[in-house]
Chains A and B, each alone.
Chain A
Amino acid sequence: MKNRLGQFLIVAVVFAFMAAGTAMAADTIKLGVAGPHSGDLASYGIPTIKAAELVVKDINAKGGVLGRQVELLVEDDVCKPEVATNTATKLVSEGVHVVLGHICSGATKAALGIYKDSNIPVMSPSATNPALTQSGDYPNFFRTIASDDAQARLEVDFALDVLKLKKIAVLHDKGDYGKGLAEFAKAFLEKDPRAEVVFYEGITPGAVDYSAVVQKIKKSGAEAVIFGGYHPEASKIVTQMRKKRMDTIFISDDGVKDDTFIKVAQKYAEGVYATGPKDVSSNPMAIAANEAHKKAYGADPGAFYLNAYSAAIALLNAIEQAGSTDYAAVTNALRTKDVETPLGKIRFDDRGDAIGVGFSMYQVKDGAYVELK
Chain B
Amino acid sequence: MWIEIETPMLANELKKSFLASLWFMFLTFPIMVIRVNTVEKIIQWRWANLFFVGIGSFILSALWRYLIRRKEQGIHRTEVDGIARVTLSQRLLGDRRFTIPALIITTIAALVFPFVFSIYQTNIMITALIYVMLGLGLNIVVGLAGLLDLGYVAFYAVGAYSYALLNYHFGLGFWTVLGIGGGLAAMFGIILGFPVLRLRGDYLAIVTLGFGEIIRLILENWNAFSFGPSGIANIPRPGLFGIDLDIEQATIYVYFLMIAMTLFTIFVVNRLQNSRIGRAWIALREDEVACQSMGIDKRKTKLMAFALGATWAGFAGVVFAAKTTFINPASFTIWESINVLCVVVLGGMGSIVGVIVGAFILILLPEYLRFLSEYRMLAFGTVLVMMMVFRPGGIVETVRRTYQYKETDH
Contacts and interface: CB of A to CB of B under 8 A. Distances in A.
Direct contact of A and B (CB under 8 A): yes
Interface of A: 1, 5, 8-9, 12, 15-16, 19, 37-39, 42, 76, 80-82, 85-86, 89-90, 92-94, 105-106, 109-110, 113-114, 117-118, 129, 131, 135, 137, 174-176, 179-180, 183, 202, 259-260, 263
B39 A81 contact: no
User: Residue among B223, B228, B323, B367 with the most chain A CB within 10 A?
Assistant: B228
A113 B367 contact: no
Interface in B292-327: 320, 323-327
Interface residues of B, number: 42
Contacts of B120: 86, 89-90, 92-94
A179 B229 contact: yes
Contact of B324 (A15, A19, A85): A85
B330 interface: yes
B405 interface: no
B115 A12 contact: yes
A273 B247 CA distance: 45
A242 B108 CA distance: 68
B148 to A, nearest CB: 25
Interface string B226-254: 00111101100000000000110001000
Nearest to B372: A38
A167 to B, nearest CB: 23
18 contacts: A12-B115, A16-B115, A37-B373, A37-B374, A38-B376, A85-B324, A89-B123, A90-B120, A93-B119, A106-B328, A109-B233, A109-B326, A113-B233, A113-B325, A137-B233, A174-B221, A202-B221, A259-B39
Contacts of B223: 179, 183
A118 B247 contact: yes
Helix, strand, loop or mixed for chain A's interface? helix
A180 B247 contact: no
A86 B367 contact: yes
Given A16-B116, A89-B123, A110 B324 contact: yes
Contacts, number: 114
Nearest to A174: B220
8 pairs of A and B residues whose beta carbons are closest in the complex: A90-B120, A110-B326, A93-B118, A117-B247, A176-B229, A38-B374, A89-B123, A89-B120
A326 to B, nearest CB: 18
Contacts of B373: 37-38, 76
A137 B234 contact: yes
Contacts of A94: 118, 120
A118 B249 CA distance: 12
A179 to B, nearest CB: 5
Interface string B274-308: 00000000000000000000000000000000000
Nearest to B109: A8
A185 B198 CA distance: 47
A323 B141 CA distance: 59
A173 B231 CA distance: 16
Contact of B116 (A15, A92, A93): A15
Nearest to B367: A86
Given A15-B116, A179-B229, A81 B326 contact: yes
A179 B108 CA distance: 49
B240 to A, nearest CB: 15
Interface of B: 38-39, 104, 108, 112, 115-120, 122-124, 127, 220-221, 223, 228-231, 233-234, 246-247, 251, 320, 323-328, 330-331, 367, 370, 373-374, 376-377
A76 B370 contact: yes
A86 B324 CA distance: 9
B330 A81 contact: yes
A202 B329 CA distance: 15
User: Residue among B108, B116, B127, B320 with the most chain A CB within 10 A?
Assistant: B116
A214 B123 CA distance: 46
Contact of A176 (B118, B230, B324, B325): B230
B224 to A, nearest CB: 11
A81 B328 contact: yes
Contact of B331 (A16, A42, A80, A179): A80
Given A8-B112, A90-B120, 18 more contacts: A12-B112, A12-B116, A16-B116, A38-B374, A82-B324, A82-B331, A85-B325, A86-B120, A89-B122, A93-B120, A106-B231, A106-B326, A113-B233, A179-B228, A179-B230, A180-B229, A180-B230, A260-B39
Contacts of B38: 263
Contacts of A76: 370, 373
B330 A176 contact: yes
A86 B39 contact: no
A85 B230 contact: no
B220 to A, nearest CB: 5
B123 A86 contact: yes
Contacts of A259: 39
A109 B5 CA distance: 60
A16 B113 CA distance: 10
User: Residue among B118, B124, B220, B373 with the most chain A CB within 10 A?
Assistant: B118
Contacts of A174: 220-221, 229
Given A92-B119, A176-B328, A109 B221 contact: no
User: Residue among B115, B228, B324 with the most chain A CB within 10 A?
Assistant: B324
Contact of B108 (A8, A92, A135, A263): A8
Contacts of B247: 89, 92, 114, 117-118
User: Residue among A12, A81, A114 with the most chain B CB within 10 A?
Assistant: A81
B41 to A, nearest CB: 9
A279 B16 CA distance: 60
Contacts of A117: 246-247
Contacts of B119: 89, 92-93
A41 B325 CA distance: 23
B105 to A, nearest CB: 9
A90 B124 CA distance: 10
Contacts of B108: 5, 8
Contacts of B221: 174, 202
Contacts of A19: 117-118
B127 A82 contact: yes
B112 A9 contact: yes
A92 B231 CA distance: 24
User: Residue among B108, B119, B229, B323 with the most chain A CB within 10 A?
Assistant: B229
A76 B325 CA distance: 19
Contacts of A109: 231, 233, 326
Nearest to B124: A86
B230 to A, nearest CB: 5
B332 to A, nearest CB: 10
Contacts of A180: 229-230
Contacts of B320: 82
Contacts of A39: 374, 377
Contact of A42 (B116, B230, B325, B374): B374
